[in-house]
Structure 1
Amino acid sequence: MTPEEVEERIEAAIEDCEATVERARGEHDDDHLRATVVSPAFEGESLLDQHDMVYDALGEAMTTEIHALELTTRTPE
């Protein structure tokens, strides 16, 4: 799964979301990614719940196509 495909999947699943996904630095495997996800849907949610929203958006890809995801979530403010 390419970083662009991961971005599209996250943005399609989370309201008013902007996702930026890239290969993790220093990793040569295609399945190690870094993502920053910004959405007003995260307001009032715990960090754990925010991350769960992203993992839910990626579904089974988290266990099959993505080995590691370094994740940063935040609200637009």
Structure 2
Amino acid sequence: MAMSRETLLGYLTDAFPEAEITLTDLAGDDNHWQAEIVSPQFSGLNRVKQHQLVYAALKGTMGGELHALALKTKAPES
């Protein structure tokens, strides 16, 4: 099963409304995505905590509807 760009972007923008989000379909199959997320919610958090927030935003779809997601996360630069 695959996840469309619109669905993935919906999950991420719901969880990170002020973020800059860039999605790249790495294999052209809606199954292997890269997400680059710059969000104020990541301020003061290490990368593991940032990624945990992203996975929580996906509401259990990781590994099922969403097969693979490469993440690049960071807080905005001041």
Is TM (by shorter chain) over 0.5? yes
1:30-57 per-residue CA deviation (whole Å, 9 max, x = no partner) reads: 2110100110110000100000100100
Contact 1:40 1:76 in 2 (8 A): yes
Q: Quick check: which one's helix share is greater?
A: 1
* Alpha carbons of structure 1 residues 28 and 17: separation in structure 2 relative to 1, 3 Å: closer
TM-score (ref. length: structure 1): 0.85
Gaps of 5+ in 1: none
Aligned counterpart, 1:68: 68
Q: How many residues align?
A: 75
Gaps of 5+ in 2: none
CA distance in structure 1 between the aligned counterparts of 2:37 and 2:51, rounded to whole angstroms = 9
Over the aligned positions, Cα root-mean-square deviation in angstroms equals: 1.4
Percent identity of paired positions between Structure 1 and Structure 2: 39
Misfit runs of 4+, over 6 Å: none
TM-score (ref. length: structure 2): 0.84
